[in-house]
Structure 1
């Protein structure tokens, strides 16, 4: 194994994946949301840097080619598990997350079954866009958790009548409830939209991989 800088970045990204879940075990919210968001964004950024550096420095290795997709999948799967687990289990969130998780398991199993011949299933540009959409969607959804909990902290102890007056503009918004609510709603809407886009791209790329693998799955080969 060659431990050059691109491979070290990839390995760190792989180790960061379970760290996202660990944040919610040792920190209260919204600090856990903040730390998970920062860890996820930094780790996702290495996905671009390690590939760029490996190509620029001509340090592409078999270990890097093996670890890179595993690290990406681990980050996406664990982050989605955390987001769904701490959500209200809305079908608008659960359905696209299920599609993404199913595709990742299906394609990973397909590649494992094909063994050495899996190298013929090259990563397409559409698959890279799919990964990008997933990463951005997850980061925005973590940001929604931050807004949600700061909103809850600011509104603590207020009755519904006072909240209604603040949101209606009849009472001065000293705690910034309106902008916290707007941040929560907009990040939720944008995050869900991007997650559905990622799910659609996930289905397209999964179907494309399966179509390309069909000749390799025929009996008697």
Structure 2
């Protein structure tokens, strides 16, 4: 169960407090350290899936942990950047867009999973993730880097937010096809025991 791909995913989760602690030190070198740790953690997002497929080690644990690790990493860094006012004013908007989209897609996936309907990751979503990770890594460097670092990070973040809206709409549209006016989208009633016995046709006795 704890194969190398799964260990890489767990390492991505374990890196989150290290990124936060490094950034919290409020030193120039600490911001670079936080960015380096974040970039390393982000790269594992590619290699855990690639190794799992190549070595035929795709597992339920990996499929469960991988999206959780991604969302925890991204949400933690976005909140960190907002807390330290690296993101402030209108630049908080793309952070909210990204966070809200992740919550929406997670809920949509959970609902569709009950219907045994998959929601495949599109190529646009993969680009969104890559640009999002680059933006957050650059913003972690922030004012510890050259003057052009912050404008670059903000531009990448807004671009990632635009892709987030696009891919979020695609996922929502795909999910609605399985929900709206689809009798099969309503799970069958579960049996009730004791005095309120429910039969297979839904009647209570």
Q: TM-score range by the shorter chain?
A: 0.7 to 0.9
CA displacement, residues 140-180 of structure 1 (integer Å, 9 cap, x when unaligned): 11112423xxxxxxxxxxxxxxxxxxxxxxxxxxxxxxxxx
Cα RMSD after superposing both structures: 1.8
Please give the TM-score of this superposition, normalised by the length of structure 2.
0.82
Q: Tell me whether 1:186 sits opposite 2:154 in the alignment.
A: no
8 Å contact 2:112–2:118 — kept in the other structure?
no
Shift in Å at residue 50 of structure 1? 1.2
Match of 2:202 in 1: none
SS in 2 for 1:120: coil
Deviation at 1:85, TM superposition (A): 1.3
Task: Give 5+ residue unaligned stretches, structure 2.
Answer: 185-205
Question: Quick one: which of 103, 106, 113 aligns to 2:104?
Answer: 106
Structure 1 position 126 matched with structure 2 position 88: no
Q: Which sits farther off after the overlay, 32-41 or 98-107?
A: 32-41
Shift of the alpha carbon at 1:83? 1.0
Residue aligned with 2:56, SS: coil
Which stretches of structure 1, 4 residues or longer, exceed 6 Å deviation after superposition?
none
Q: 8 Å contact 2:109–2:118 — kept in the other structure? A: no
Which of 88, 100, 117 matches 2:115? 117
Rounded Cα–Cα distance in structure 1 between residues aligned with 2:22 and 2:37: 9
For 2:43 and 2:143, locate their aligned partners in 1 and report how far apart those are by CA, in whole Å: 21
| 1:118, distance to aligned residue in structure 2 (A) | 6.1
**Which of 172, 175, 179 in structure 2 is aligned with 1:217?**
179
CA deviations over 1:99-150 (Å, ceiling 9, x no partner): 1111011111222233333652111111111100110000111112423xxx
Q: Specify the alignment match of 1:49 in structure 2.
A: 47
| 2:193 aligned residue | none
Unaligned runs of 5+ in 1: 148-182
In the alignment, what sits opposite 1:4? Answer: 3
- 1:1-221 mapped onto 2 (5 Å cutoff): 2-25=1-24, 27-87=25-85, 89-117=87-115, 119-147=117-145, 183=146, 185-218=147-180, 220-221=183-184
Check the 8 A contact 2:86/2:142 in 1, yes or no: no
Q: 1:208 and 1:108, CA in 2 relative to 1: closer, same or farther beyond 3 A?
A: same
Measure the CA separation in 2 of the matches of 1:135 and 1:82: 14
How many positions carry a matched residue from both structures? 183
Does the aligned pair in 1 maintain the 2:9–2:48 contact within 8 Å? yes
